[in-house]
Structure 1
Amino acid sequence: MRIAFYNHTSAVSGAEISMLLTAKHFSKAEPIIFAPEGEVLERAQSIGIRVMPTPSYRARLRKNPFLLIKDMIGMLAAGWKLASILKKEPIDLIHANSIRAGIMAGLFKWYHKTPIIWHMRDIPPKGLVGRAVKLLGRITAEGFIGISKSVLENFSDSSLKARSYLVHNGVELTYIGDQEKQDYRKKIREELRTPQNAKVATIIGQIAPWKRQEDAIRATAKLIQDGTEVFLWIVGIAKFRKENELYFETLKSLVYELGIEDRVIFAGFREDVLEICCASDILLLCSDNEPFGRVVIEAMSQGTPVIGTEAGGVPEIIRNGINGMMYPVSEYIKLSHLMSQLFNDPQLMKRLSDNGLLNAEQNFSIKQTAEKVENIYQNVLQGDASRSIDPAHSREVAK
C-alpha cells in the first residue's frame, strides 16, 4: 500500500510528531509525506521517509464570511495543486493529517479519484462551518480516524459512525535508566536555574488560551504563598495565531503581578520532552478541551506523575487516583491542592508513577498505533464495514 500522508502546514506540533512516528513504524504500508517545504519534510527525510513537496494554504475555520471566502479560495488553489500531483503519482490512499488537510484533499476528489481518510486530531468546529465540514467529509472521505472518543463524539453523526475509527496516539517507549534520569535532572535543573532539591511542576505544549497555562501559574503561586518551595516550568512557544502571542504576554504579566518571577521559568520550545519529564516531579495539563493529551503519555512513559483536566480526551488516559489525578477545568485552587498532595505523599507519587508507566506500556505504544492504522487502510481499501462498533459510536480497530 502506498500511502500519501498529507499535512497542510510545514510547521511541527503534536499532530505532525504523531504522523511521523506512525509512518516510521509501519510494517506493511509505504508512506510518502506530502507537505510544504520546511520542517515536516526535513524531519521525515531524517528518519528515512520519502517526501513530496506540496504547496498548501494555512486556512482557519472561522465564522467571518469575508475571511471564510478568502480562505476557501486559498484552499481551492491548494487542493487543485495537490490533486494535480496525486493524478500523476501511483497512490493507493490519502491519509489527511487534519481536518483542513482532509478538506483540501477532498475538494478535487472527482479529479484524482483516490480514497481519503481524515485524521481527526482536534475538536471539530460547530455551527454552519461545522455542518459544511461534515457534509464535505460525508461526500469525499472513506474513513475518519479520531484520536479520542471526545473528538469522534463531536464529529460523527449517524451517517458517519460506520466510517469512524478510534485510534489513540502512541509514543515510542524509550527506556531511560535511573542514573540517566538523575543526570538529566541535574543538568536540566542547572540549565533552568532551579535548585536540585526543589519541587518542580511542568506544563508542556503550545502557549495558547485554551491550554490555560494561567491555571498552572495561579496554582503555583498558591503553593508558594503556603510555604512550598515549588518551581513551574512552562515549556512551549506561542505560534500560529496573534491571540496566542497576546496570551503569552498576559502570562508574563500575571507572573509579574503575583511576584513569582523567580519561580516560573518560561523554557521556550524544547526537543527534549522526555528528558524534561525526567527532571520534573509532576506534569500538569490544564487545557479546557484537550483532544487527547499526548504529553500525558510521554510523561507516564518515564514514570512522571500527571495531573490533568476532566475534559476532552484526557479521561481516556488518566484513571483518577490510580495512574494520575484530575480536576475540573479552571479550578486552580483544586489543582494546587492536588499538587500539594502529591508533593507531600511519596507513596502516592510512587503508585501513580508505577501505574502510569504500566498504562503507557500496555495501551499507548506507537507500534500498536501504527498497526491499527494499517488495519484501517486495509479495511477501507477492501470496502470492509463489518468491524466491531465501539460503544462511543466509533469502530475501534483491534491489534
Structure 2
Amino acid sequence: MGLRVLHVEMGRHLYGGALQVFYLLRGLAERGYENILVCQQGSRIQDLARGIARIKPIECLGDPDPRLLWHLLTIIRTEAPDIFHVHSRRGADFWGALAARLTRARAVITRRVDNPEPVWMARWRYGSFARVITISEGIKKVLMREGIPEEKISCVLSAIDVDHYARQADRGWFAREFSISPKELAVGMVAQFIPRKGHQLLVTAARGIISRRKDVRFVLCGRGPLEKEIRDQVVRWGLEGHFIFAGFREDLPRVLPCFDLLVHPAFMEGLGVGLVQAAAAGVPIVATRVGGIPEIVQHGVNGLIIPPGDVRALEEAIMELLNDGPKRKKMARAGRRIARERFSLEKMIEGNIKVYESLIHSR
C-alpha cells in the first residue's frame, strides 16, 4: 500500500477544481495510494469517489463555519495521514491551515485562483503548509509577489482526459439539441455566471458582431448569480434570438467539439480548465491575457489573446476567426497538440506525487 493521503474538497458541484480532485483520487488509487476524502455531504464528488477513496462527508457552511476545523482535527488525529492535502477554498484553506498548525501534519495546499490577497494573510495561510501547489505559472507569480518563497511553490498544471474530448463533432445532434441551423456558426462560452468571467463583455461585443453577421449564435454554458442579469441584458438589447442559455452541462465532451469558437473574456483566471477542454476538442479560442490563460492559449497558434476589458478587441478577434474557416481549422489542430503535450492526466498525477514524496523524504 502506498501513502495515505487525506484530501479536503468542499465544493458541491463538479466544477473545475472538484473535477481535478476526482482525477487525482482515481490516479492515486490506481497507483496503490490510500485516499481519504473530506467533502460536503451530498456533493457530486462524494458519489463519484466511492471505490477510490474512503469518504468522510460533513456539513459545512463555508468560510465562517468553525465546524470544519473540529472535523479536520478529529479526522487527522484518527487517520494519521502521511499527507494532508487541502484542495478547495470554501473555508478549507483557512481552517485547513489552522488544522495543519495544530496537528503538525505534513500539509499541502493547492491554489487554483489568481486573485491577490493581503501579504499578511497570504504569509499566514501558506506558512501553515509545507508546500503550495499552483495550477499555473501565473498563480505562482502572484504568490511570489506576496512573499511566498519560490522553493516552497510547485507548479502542477491542471489536466483533463484528452481522449474524452478529442471526438468527432456530432453536428446533427448539436443542431437538434440547441435549435441551431447547420448553416449558423456557434460561439460558445463555458463559465460560471460570476463577475470575473466577463459575460457582460461578450454580450456587449455581440451587438457589433450580430450587426455584421446574422448567422452567429452564442451558447452560454453554466450557472451562477449573474445569470438573470445577463439574460435581462440580452433581452434589453434585443439579442435573444442569438443567445442560448444552456445551463450546467455534464455532456461537455459532446458539446464542445460542435462549437466553431470558444470565448473566455475573463478579468481573472487561475488557469481555465474549460479552455484546456476546448483545446482538446479542437476548438479555437478567444481569451484574455490574464492569470494562467496564456499557458493554454498561444496567440496566433490555437487562438487569439486580447487585453482584459477591451470590448472592441474582443469583437474584432471573434470576427477575425468567424470570417476565416481555414485559420480556425489550423488552430484546432494546434489546440489538440497543446492539450495532449501539456495537460495530460498522467503529468498532473505524477506532479502531485512528486510533491508528496519530496515531503516524505525531507524528514
Give the superposed CA RMSD: 2.0
Unaligned runs of 5+ in 1: 60-70, 239-244, 385-399
How is 1:176-215 mapped onto 2 (pairs within 5 angstroms)?
180-182=168-170, 185-215=171-201
Match in the other structure for 2:206? 220
For residues 122 and 147 of structure 2, the distance between their equivalents in structure 1, rounded to whole angstroms, comes to 15
**1:5 aligned to 4, 7, 14, which one?**
7
Cα contact 1:44–1:50 (8 A) shared by 2: no
Q: Secondary structure, in 3 states, of the residue corresponding to 1:155?
A: helix
Q: Provide closer, same or farther for how the CA distance between residues 260 and 80 of structure 1 changes in structure 2, counting only shifts above 3 A.
A: same
State the one-letter code of the partner of 1:187. W
Cα deviation code 1:243-282 (max 9, x no counterpart): xx2x322211211122111110011111011211112111
Cα contact 1:119–1:145 (8 A) shared by 2: yes
For residues 110 and 169 of structure 1, the distance between their equivalents in structure 2, rounded to whole angstroms, comes to 27
Match in the other structure for 1:18? 20
Match in the other structure for 2:136? 148
For residues 293 and 309 of structure 2, the distance between their equivalents in structure 1, rounded to whole angstroms, comes to 15
Task: Give the percent of matched residue pairs that are identical in Structure 1 and Structure 2.
Answer: 20
Cα contact 1:33–1:41 (8 A) shared by 2: no
Q: Secondary structure, in 3 states, of the residue corresponding to 2:49?
A: helix
How is 1:47-58 mapped onto 2 (pairs within 5 angstroms)?
48-58=52-62
Match in the other structure for 2:153? 164
Please report the TM-score for the alignment, with normalisation by the length of structure 1.
0.84
For residues 19 and 102 of structure 1, the distance between their equivalents in structure 2, rounded to whole angstroms, comes to 15
Match in the other structure for 2:276? 297
For residues 125 and 339 of structure 1, the distance between their equivalents in structure 2, rounded to whole angstroms, comes to 30
For residues 159 and 30 of structure 1, the distance between their equivalents in structure 2, rounded to whole angstroms, comes to 30
Cα contact 2:184–2:215 (8 A) shared by 1: yes
Please report the TM-score for the alignment, with normalisation by the length of structure 2.
0.92
Match in the other structure for 2:78? 88
For residues 237 and 276 of structure 2, the distance between their equivalents in structure 1, rounded to whole angstroms, comes to 31
How many residues are treated as equivalent by the alignment? 357
Cα deviation code 1:124-170 (max 9, x no counterpart): 4423xx522421321x2100001112212222355532110011100
Cα deviation code 1:315-343 (max 9, x no counterpart): 11111001211111122222221222112
Q: Provide closer, same or farther for how the CA distance between residues 328 and 158 of structure 1 changes in structure 2, counting only shifts above 3 A.
A: closer
Q: Secondary structure, in 3 states, of the residue corresponding to 1:181?
A: coil
Q: Secondary structure, in 3 states, of the residue corresponding to 2:143?
A: coil
Match in the other structure for 1:337? 316
How is 1:55-134 mapped onto 2 (pairs within 5 angstroms)?
55-59=59-63, 71=64, 74-75=65-66, 77-99=67-89, 100-127=91-118, 131-134=120-123
Unaligned runs of 5+ in 2: none
State the one-letter code of the partner of 2:84. I
Q: Secondary structure, in 3 states, of the residue corresponding to 2:162?
A: coil
Q: Provide closer, same or farther for how the CA distance between residues 159 and 318 of structure 1 changes in structure 2, counting only shifts above 3 A.
A: closer
Q: Provide closer, same or farther for how the CA distance between residues 371 and 30 of structure 1 changes in structure 2, counting only shifts above 3 A.
A: same
Q: Secondary structure, in 3 states, of the residue corresponding to 1:358?
A: helix
* Deviation of 1:176 (Å): 6.3
**2:257 aligned to 278, 283, 289, which one?**
278
Match in the other structure for 1:287? 266
For residues 6 and 151 of structure 2, the distance between their equivalents in structure 1, rounded to whole angstroms, comes to 23
Q: Does 1:316 align with 2:295?
A: yes
Q: Provide closer, same or farther for how the CA distance between residues 98 and 285 of structure 1 changes in structure 2, counting only shifts above 3 A.
A: same
